[in-house]
């Protein structure tokens, strides 16, 4: 480690204090760096900006137009008064070269008067929505009931979406810049007075300590912020749904936005957070709980079905019910492989289909799904490469893994099946038990922003089960989960909610 740090140190470019002229000379090397000179009245004004970052309409209508019309009216004009003629908010006047550099690179225009060449005004002309999609429907986390608004690649829009629903001055946005090359705007959002201070401190510290060049997506942050980066389990929920992010904030979690990413990271998360869908809250609690339990069962089935098939057929034929023995032996009688190879073959086929389906254009992917699912499945059974029963089990397992609402978690579930299959193939039922023990040990050790990952289960918090395995009715979830240690335990006044106002009174 020490050797590497030495290497990095020696490679680091030396930070020199540039003069404004040096900066401009460097920027002029780019063909999109424009320089407009205008002469109005007694004033010689030069405007510098990046053509590719600036909105030309703003430049023409708000800056050039006003400068040309208003400036000749003044006899003496100081640069500080620019705000009075240019109708654009927050015009900054500075001499600091570093600020000028970053602002220019963010889409600001630099205005300079010839008589005071050192003092520059920075006008924000950045075209916020240039090259970004307008459509903000949440595509990957779909829900039939409830709002369909999702986050987009523009951080301004995302923050706006949050502010619209959390109407309180306690919603705080803290801005940071990350990435030595990308200079990405990162916003940490939380509700003051609810969020635990220690958690917030951890988050702020972790984010500010990140050293990286380009932050492409929030999922990069997800990995960089993780407590244990070599775990297959995602440490934080990342969602593109506005309602989910808002719910997390209200519970006392912290949300992290990155510019250019439609996903928001919320944390500290627990394992159960990955299996809750916003739809659980939009349906009556009985239905919500039922579907949540189906989802949990789906996960268990998806992880364990094919390992159990391998274990039972390889080692524990005693366990097969007598009516199932015939069909199983019959369907396997012509298969030349041992069960473990049979399962691996089919599981990898399904993974290939999934991977191919995700890479292909939507319209082709549908056809591929049908071709792969039906034709390959049926053909491999008829060619006696796999048994009928296994085909059903593997297909159901794949289907069940799709019920997980968070995509990252469903990837994890896809993955952890394979080591368990190997354990089952080598050691049978004992191997499965062993693998599950390892999994539980790992989950028990995991942390998310210093919070235990397996919390209401371990450490056991009986009261927080209200919204974990089942989605309890709203009068039972008045309190925020205690494992987040929120500063305000009550979400709203339960006494007021209980009052039934009668029309007769």
Partner 1 sequence: MKRALYFILVVTFMLAGCKSSRIVDQVQIIHAMGYDWKKGKYVGTAIYPTFRQGPMTKPDILTTESSTTYDLIPRLSSKSALPIEEGQLRLVLFGKSFAKKGITEIVHSLARNNKVGMRLQLAVAKGDAERLLRITAETTLSDTLYLSNLIEQNIREMNLPNTNLHIFLYNYFGKGRDPFLPYLEKKGNFVKLEGLALFKDGNYVGRIDLRQSFLVKLLLDETKNGVYQIPISKNKKKGRVLLENLFATSQYSLRRGREPIIDIHLRIRASIRDYPTWLDLPNKKEFQLVRKQMEKHLNKDITALISLFQKKGVDPLGIGDFVRSHTRHWDEKSFYKGYRHLQIRPHVNVDIIQTGIGE
Residue numbers at the binding site for partner 1 (CB under 8 A): 312-315, 317-318, 320, 322, 325-330, 332-333, 335, 338-339, 426-428
Alpha helices in 71-181 (DSSP H): 82-85, 97-105, 155-165
CA–CA gap between residue 455 and residue 447 (Å, rounded): 10
Q: Where are the beta strands (DSSP E) in 179-315?
A: 184-191, 237-239, 254-258, 264-267
Q: Which is nearer to partner 1, 313 or 446 (CB)?
A: 313
Q: Which is nearer to partner 1, 65 or 383 (CB)?
A: 383
Q: Kindly state the smallest distance separating residue 334's Cβ from partner 1, in Å.
A: 9
Please list the residues that pair with 255 across neighbouring strands: 189, 266
Q: Kindly state the smallest distance separating residue 307's Cβ from partner 1, in Å.
A: 15
CA–CA gap between residue 403 and residue 299 (Å, rounded): 8
Q: Which is nearer to partner 1, 138 or 386 (CB)?
A: 386
Q: Which is nearer to partner 1, 314 or 380 (CB)?
A: 314
Left (φ > 0), alpha (ψ -120 to 50) or beta: where does 291 sit? alpha
CA–CA gap between residue 195 and residue 172 (Å, rounded): 11
Q: Hey, is 35 helix, strand or coil?
A: strand
Q: Which is nearer to partner 1, 369 or 419 (CB)?
A: 419
Q: Kindly state the smallest distance separating residue 434's Cβ from partner 1, in Å.
A: 9
Q: Kindly state the smallest distance separating residue 209's Cβ from partner 1, in Å.
A: 27
Q: Kindly state the smallest distance separating residue 295's Cβ from partner 1, in Å.
A: 32
CA-nearest of 250, 224, 252, 218 to 237 is 218
CA–CA gap between residue 122 and residue 110 (Å, rounded): 5
Alpha helices in 17-124 (DSSP H): 20-27, 56-58, 65-70, 82-85, 97-105
Q: Which is nearer to partner 1, 98 or 383 (CB)?
A: 383
What angle separates helix 339-359 from helix 362-370, to the nearest 10 degrees? 160
CA-nearest of 478, 481, 487, 493 to 193 is 487
Q: Kindly state the smallest distance separating residue 328's Cβ from partner 1, in Å.
A: 6
Cβ neighbours, 10 Å, residue 314: 18
Q: Kindly state the smallest distance separating residue 391's Cβ from partner 1, in Å.
A: 16
Give, in order, the Cα–Cα distances in Å from 335 to each of 59, 330, 341, 481. Answer: 73, 10, 10, 52
Q: Kindly state the smallest distance separating residue 440's Cβ from partner 1, in Å.
A: 18
| 241 contacts 143 by C-beta, under 8 angstroms | yes
Please list the residues that pair with 108 across neighbouring strands: 124
Q: Which is nearer to partner 1, 278 or 339 (CB)?
A: 339
Q: To which residue do tokens 């034709």 refer?
A: 375
Give, in order, the Cα–Cα distances in Å from 369 to each of 73, 156, 355, 389, 405. Answer: 70, 38, 11, 20, 21
Q: Which is nearer to partner 1, 317 or 415 (CB)?
A: 317
Q: Kindly state the smallest distance separating residue 232's Cβ from partner 1, in Å.
A: 17
User: Is the torsion defined by CA of 435, 436, 441, 444 positive or negative?
Assistant: positive
Q: Kindly state the smallest distance separating residue 442's Cβ from partner 1, in Å.
A: 14
Q: Kindly state the smallest distance separating residue 320's Cβ from partner 1, in Å.
A: 7
Q: Which is nearer to partner 1, 330 or 458 (CB)?
A: 330
Q: Which is nearer to partner 1, 85 or 416 (CB)?
A: 416
Which residues, 6 or more positions from 330, have their beta carbon under 8 angstroms from its beta carbon? none
Q: Which is nearer to partner 1, 284 or 327 (CB)?
A: 327
Q: Kindly state the smallest distance separating residue 422's Cβ from partner 1, in Å.
A: 9
CA–CA gap between residue 289 and residue 467 (Å, rounded): 9
Q: Which is nearer to partner 1, 2 or 333 (CB)?
A: 333
């Amino acid at each position: 480690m020490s050797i590497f740090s030495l290497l990095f140190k020696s490679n680091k470019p030396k930070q020199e204090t540039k003069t404004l002229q040096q900066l401009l000379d460097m920027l002029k090397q780019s063909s999109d760096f424009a320089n407009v000179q205008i002469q109005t009245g007694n004033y010689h004004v030069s405007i510098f900006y990046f053509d590719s970052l600036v909105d030309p309409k703003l430049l023409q209508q708000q800056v050039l137009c006003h400068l040309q019309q208003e400036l000749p009216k003044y006899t003496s004009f100081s640069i500080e008064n620019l705000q009075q003629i240019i109708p654009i908010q927050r015009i900054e006047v500075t001499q600091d070269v570093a600020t000028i550099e970053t602002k220019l690179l963010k889409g600001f225009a630099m205005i300079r008067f010839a008589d005071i060449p050192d003092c520059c005004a920075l006008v924000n002309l950045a075209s916020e929505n240039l090259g970004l999609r307008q459509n903000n429907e949440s595509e990957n986390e779909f829900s039939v009931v409830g709002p369909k608004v999702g986050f987009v690649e523009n951080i301004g829009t995302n923050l706006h979406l949050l502010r619209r629903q959390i109407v309180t001055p306690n919603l705080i946005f803290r801005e940071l810049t990350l990435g030595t090359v990308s200079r990405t705007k990162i916003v940490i959002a939380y509700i003051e007075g609810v969020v635990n201070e220690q958690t917030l401190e951890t988050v702020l510290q972790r984010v500010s300590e990140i050293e990286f060049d380009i932050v492409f997506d929030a999922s990069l942050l997800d990995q960089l912020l993780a407590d244990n980066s070599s775990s297959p389990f995602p440490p934080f929920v990342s969602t593109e749904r506005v309602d989910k992010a808002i719910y997390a904030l209200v519970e006392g979690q912290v949300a992290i936005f990155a510019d250019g990413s439609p996903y928001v990271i919320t944390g500290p998360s627990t394992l159960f957070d990955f299996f809750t869908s916003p739809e659980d809250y939009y349906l009556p609690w009985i239905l919500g709980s039922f579907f949540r339990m189906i989802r949990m069962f789906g996960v268990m089935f998806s992880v364990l079905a094919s390992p159990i098939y391998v274990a039972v057929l390889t080692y524990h034929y005693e366990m097969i019910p007598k009516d199932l023995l015939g069909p199983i032996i019959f369907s396997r009688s012509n298969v030349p492989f041992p069960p473990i190879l049979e399962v691996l073959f089919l599981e990898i086929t399904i993974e290939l289909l999934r991977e191919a389906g995700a890479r292909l254009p939507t319209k082709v992917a549908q056809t591929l799904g049908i071709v792969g699912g039906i034709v390959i499945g049926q053909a491999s059974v008829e060619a006696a490469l796999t048994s009928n029963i296994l085909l059903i089990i593997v297909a159901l397992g794949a289907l069940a893994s799709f019920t997980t609402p968070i995509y990252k978690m469903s990837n994890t579930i896809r993955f952890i099946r394979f080591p368990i299959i190997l354990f089952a193939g080598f050691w049978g039922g004992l191997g499965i038990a062993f693998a599950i023990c390892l999994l539980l040990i790992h989950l028990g050790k995991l942390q998310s922003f210093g919070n235990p990952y397996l919390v209401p289960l371990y450490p056991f918090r009986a009261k927080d089960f209200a919204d974990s395995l089942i989605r309890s009715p709203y009068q039972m979830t008045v309190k925020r989960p205690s494992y987040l240690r929120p500063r305000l335990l009550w979400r709203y006044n339960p006494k007021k909610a209980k009052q039934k106002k009668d029309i007769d009174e």
